Structure 1
Amino acid sequence: MTIAAGAFALGGILLFVGLAGAALLGQSAGSAGGGPLFDAYIWRITRFTLLQASLSTLLAILFAIPVARALARQASFPGRIWVLRLLALPLGLPALVAALGLIEIWGRQGLLNRVLSAAGLEQPVSIYGLSGILIAHVFFNMPLAARLMLAGIERIPAEYWRTSANLGMGSFATFRFIEWPVIRGLLPGIAGLIFMLCATSFTLVLTLGGGPAASTIEVAIYQALRFDFDPPRAIALSALQVALTGALLLVLKLIAPAPLEGETSGRAIRRFDGASGLSRLADRIWLILAVILVGLPFAAIAYSGSKADLVRLVSEPAFHRALAMSATIALVSATISVAIAALMIRTERLALAQRRPGAAPRLFAGTIGASTSFILLVPPVVLGAGWFLLLRPFGDVARFAPAVVVAINALMALPFVHRVLAPAMATHAARTARLAASLGIGGFHRLLWIDWPGLRKPLFVAFSFAMALSLGDLGAVALFGSEDMVTLPYLLYSRMGSYRTADAAGLALVLGLLCLVLTVLGTAGEERPPEGKST
């Protein structure tokens, strides 16, 4: 039954994406197109796409490793839970809002340049071009990588730390023999996810690229559909994007080591390697740098938003309608995304549960696992444009807009939800599957007594991630937005377009606060018990 349901979900995803692509190709039938599909400009932006995505991924991971270690080692300092919540905020923040906050800090008239100019330097930092894109991508993806690594480190059995302390292992030895094997197993998935996010980045590149010299394939796809309406070129560019990033994901999949799962008695984790003065100092430095990188743009957004007439803004009927629409779409899409991800993860595991699975089960399991990542390679503008063409013969497209936006948001959140749930479900299955089978516990009773207590925390985290992503989405809504369907990001975009900057800043602040509420709910279970006491 589970495998059949997983196959049905996989078929639904492929059908949803395939129909959108087919609609665009059908629209272009009989059209000569706008010229050659690939030219010197396309190859130049392809090189730039790969360069900026590779550098962004490398910088985000190099920064995330010491931050994740610091959070794992320093488990009880005051304010730790708020640092975790701060690191979760960029994921759900609309890219346009984040870009405005980054410009306030790193822009030509931003805080950093004002400080450096006071020191006698003239315009030493530029937020536009490759440097600005890298800063923005690290702002968004370093916290994501750090949280995923932290979740993996926290799943290391408590017995490992007790043994390392008994052997007198230092900080480097602990990292090499205990933490690094876990991080190394997570790196291919994390690196692949971040690379795809950076390679398909659209709003940040459009805002901070500074011109054609810093353009990406995603921007070229948008231009082909929005300005030239050249579907063959858009489809060809999408195929190029899928081929490039898909090849990288395949390489990462092949070199990824098998996950290491250790047996544990379930005792509370107590680490001994972060107690020295030097370790505490190093951890504090990395955490301070992370808080500055992530926190300053939010502070800039809060400062600009506080100048708006928030009382009038939140009293407007347009705001009430936008808030209700955003909350409804986010709730439904997050529920669908988490349910599909959990179903597909379990389906993949059951397909490989045989002692020697054949070629067909391995192919099916591989397709299930890859589908959650490859969905990121399909630009939302392609999905939205395809379904707009499909639904146009049935009358007013606005009637179908909420359902299409919910589906697109659920699919776009699927890779993030999968990255959160897959390691947690694998660890949970390794530790409970044999015992549950030996006791004959299955079905609803296993879900209630075993699975829910063990997976409640990652489920809440994944659900909050998915809701925050949907709440801040503008790509799908931009195509279907109308007077009857206005979300908070769409309302913010329209206020910016009409030069009502004060209202836009206030709406950006409201969106940031809503994302903060979601991260608080999602991280409610991340408070770790006092060391040495059992849970």
Structure 2
Amino acid sequence: MVQTIAERRRSLGAGIAALLAVALFVGTAVATLLLWDGDQSASRLFSAYTWRILQFTLWQATLSTLLSVLFAIPVALSLTRRPEFPGRVWIVRLMALPMGLPALVGALGLVGIWGRQGIVNGGLAAIGLEQPVSIYGLTGILLAHTFFNIPLAVRLLLAALERQPAEYWLLSAGLGMRPLSVFRFVEWPALRRVIPGVAGLIFMLCATSFTLVLVLGGGPAATTLEVAIYQALRFDFDPPRAIALAFLQIALTGAIIGLIALLPAATDTVRAAGRKIRRFDGQTANTRLWDAAIVAAAVFFIAAPLASVLAAGLRADLVKLVTGSLFLRAAATSLSIAIAAGMIAVSASLAIVSARQAIAALPARSRPMRLLSTSLAGTSSLVLLVPPVVLGTGWFLVLRPFGDVGLFAPYLVALINALMALPFVMRVLEPALDEHTRQISRLAASLGMTGWPKWRLVDLPVLLRPMLTALSFAMALSLGDLGAVALFGSSDLITLPWLVYSTLSSYRTNDADGLALILGFVCLALTILGTAGDKENENA
């Protein structure tokens, strides 16, 4: 890659500015937590209540991870064995829907299937079992986490299996291997390489889960650290307890991130996911029946809550809901915050990636430059180390002495949502920017094209598509997020997720179902719109 000195300076300046802005925003929140009445916070850190919350957080995350991975393995194996399975491509695409669905909408769908008046309890009650399944408490949390994480695990495991060379399957058939031998010598080695990374990722998602636990937790006996932080500030206004829980959350996420860094990465690559491979094993009737049953069970488990959201939402008076003043105000607020968060995330990502490219192009990189490159790469991970609820807690305490925190709430929510989207935006933009720079840097330098003319005539036409994709992802994440707005939601700040949650809390279930359908449709439409016709980003 070739860059002029002026281009390198601009790129480094923009990257350093983005790094400092993110570090200042996160650092201010963390520093405030550190300086706020440390003696009381330290005493709360070692209380029995705090450690009980930590134990439940780890316990539910462990169980959720085990269930998700254990159920995903047979589904991935069956889909790999059956490349000709009817509707297989759509089944693989179905596995992506929960990942683009707001957690609050998924929770309402699960209530429709597994709740008191749900399909499952209705069927079991018909055979004489009274209220056999409770959607609230630990059971509900495990159901929700497996609903969202089994599809993620299936896609990652399926990609690992489909990356196996075709010769392996041909050789196993030539040697006459039985199903158990095929699993032991061909399938299990592929799975074994990625299962630790898959499990670590799912554990991280479950340990930092907020919305699902808030909606389905069922009280103090089933509360995680993030929900306990929210309760300590929102209901009890106990800052020392919230601070103690916040630092415990930071320590937990830091330990998980450190562990994940030591594990082999699991990726869902476009070339692997959904690619048809020729298998010669598993052609017996029993194996075909087993595979069909496993795939059908997985499809029902994932599709039934989605269908429940659709059916329940259509029963609501959607016209009345979308024309109501409260919905229009919430939609305008959500859209404004989502656009701002998306623009900030895309701009920061472009600055960070460009700065890393400028450092990589240096003929000799000094130690400070290598440190700067590492710091830039880790910027997007700060939101994983300091979750949104912890950031909100810190900034709530920062702004409280200045009066009504609600006046600053929209800006804080937009900034927190932008940080939350940063890892996903960078995942979309970095490969596109790297590939584009490799292709045009020498030609642009030979033509003397730099600055705004180069950006307008050369860069923008190529990068517009991935930028819009990244923007749509960031907006979808922001629109569906309840975590950042949970601390600040009020009559003055109403977003669509907060409106759904408030409506549900007021026991207006019919209206909540209709609002959830609208919210889910908008988020999924944004996600699909970002990848429409672009196979490079279908699995992002």
Is residue 213 of structure 2 the alignment partner of residue 205 of structure 1? yes
Distance in 1 separating the partners of 2:120 and 2:445: 59
Cα-to-partner distance string for 1:38-62 (whole Å, 9 max, x where unaligned) = 1222222212211221222233234
> What's the counterpart of residue 234 of structure 1?
242
Is residue 332 of structure 2 the alignment partner of residue 321 of structure 1? no
> What's the counterpart of residue 271 of structure 1?
277
Change in CA separation of 1:322 and 1:152 when aligned onto 2, cut-off 3 Å:
farther
Q: Please tell me whether the aligned partners of residues 91 and 465 of structure 1 are also in contact (alpha carbons under 8 angstroms).
A: no
Match for residue 416 of structure 2 among 408, 414, 427: 408
- Map 1:357-396 to 2 at 5 A: 360=368, 363-391=371-399
Match for residue 486 of structure 1 among 494, 506, 519: 494
Change in CA separation of 1:460 and 1:82 when aligned onto 2, cut-off 3 Å:
farther
Q: TM-score, normalised by structure 2?
A: 0.76
Is residue 291 of structure 2 the alignment partner of residue 295 of structure 1? no
Q: Please tell me whether the aligned partners of residues 319 and 488 of structure 1 are also in contact (alpha carbons under 8 angstroms).
A: yes
> What's the counterpart of residue 533 of structure 1?
none
Distance in 2 separating the partners of 1:184 and 1:346: 36
Is residue 65 of structure 2 the alignment partner of residue 60 of structure 1? no
Match for residue 512 of structure 1 among 520, 523, 533: 520
Distance in 2 separating the partners of 1:299 and 1:86: 12
Displacement after TM superposition at 1:137 (Å): 0.8
Change in CA separation of 1:230 and 1:321 when aligned onto 2, cut-off 3 Å:
closer
Distance in 2 separating the partners of 1:414 and 1:177: 40
> What's the counterpart of residue 26 of structure 2?
17
3-state secondary structure, aligned to 2:227: helix
Distance in 1 separating the partners of 2:152 and 2:350: 20
- Map 1:248-267 to 2 at 5 A: 248-256=256-264
Displacement after TM superposition at 1:398 (Å): 4.5
> What's the counterpart of residue 46 of structure 1?
54
Displacement after TM superposition at 1:404 (Å): 1.8
Unaligned runs of at least 5 residues, structure 1:
529-535
Distance in 1 separating the partners of 2:159 and 2:145: 21
Displacement after TM superposition at 1:283 (Å): 5.8
Displacement after TM superposition at 1:511 (Å): 1.4
Displacement after TM superposition at 1:287 (Å): 3.8
Change in CA separation of 1:312 and 1:228 when aligned onto 2, cut-off 3 Å:
closer
Cα-to-partner distance string for 1:319-338 (whole Å, 9 max, x where unaligned) = 22322322232233234334
Change in CA separation of 1:194 and 1:353 when aligned onto 2, cut-off 3 Å:
farther
Change in CA separation of 1:84 and 1:169 when aligned onto 2, cut-off 3 Å:
same
Q: Please tell me whether the aligned partners of residues 29 and 391 of structure 2 are also in contact (alpha carbons under 8 angstroms).
A: yes
Cα-to-partner distance string for 1:412-457 (whole Å, 9 max, x where unaligned) = 22344456667x669x75xx98777787889898999899879967
Change in CA separation of 1:39 and 1:400 when aligned onto 2, cut-off 3 Å:
closer
Q: TM-score, normalised by structure 1?
A: 0.77
3-state secondary structure, aligned to 2:125: helix
Is residue 12 of structure 2 the alignment partner of residue 6 of structure 1? no
Q: Please tell me whether the aligned partners of residues 25 and 232 of structure 1 are also in contact (alpha carbons under 8 angstroms).
A: no
Match for residue 501 of structure 1 among 483, 489, 509: 509
Cα-to-partner distance string for 1:138-172 (whole Å, 9 max, x where unaligned) = 11222334455667788x6xxx8566577677899
3-state secondary structure, aligned to 1:490: helix
Is residue 235 of structure 2 the alignment partner of residue 224 of structure 1? no
Match for residue 469 of structure 1 among 477, 492, 509: 477
> What's the counterpart of residue 532 of structure 1?
none
Q: Please tell me whether the aligned partners of residues 44 and 244 of structure 2 are also in contact (alpha carbons under 8 angstroms).
A: no
Q: Please tell me whether the aligned partners of residues 475 and 526 of structure 2 are also in contact (alpha carbons under 8 angstroms).
A: yes
Which letter maps to 2:19? Answer: L
- Map 1:40-439 to 2 at 5 A: 40-64=48-72, 67=75, 82-84=90-92, 86-147=94-155, 190-256=198-264, 271-273=277-279, 277=283, 284-341=292-349, 344=352, 360=368, 363-391=371-399, 397-418=405-426
Q: Please tell me whether the aligned partners of residues 201 and 260 of structure 2 are also in contact (alpha carbons under 8 angstroms).
A: no
3-state secondary structure, aligned to 2:380: helix
Number of matched pairs: 514
3-state secondary structure, aligned to 1:480: coil
Q: Please tell me whether the aligned partners of residues 92 and 471 of structure 1 are also in contact (alpha carbons under 8 angstroms).
A: no
Distance in 2 separating the partners of 1:448 and 1:290: 48
3-state secondary structure, aligned to 1:333: helix
Distance in 2 separating the partners of 1:413 and 1:349: 21
Change in CA separation of 1:289 and 1:318 when aligned onto 2, cut-off 3 Å:
same
Distance in 2 separating the partners of 1:223 and 1:436: 53
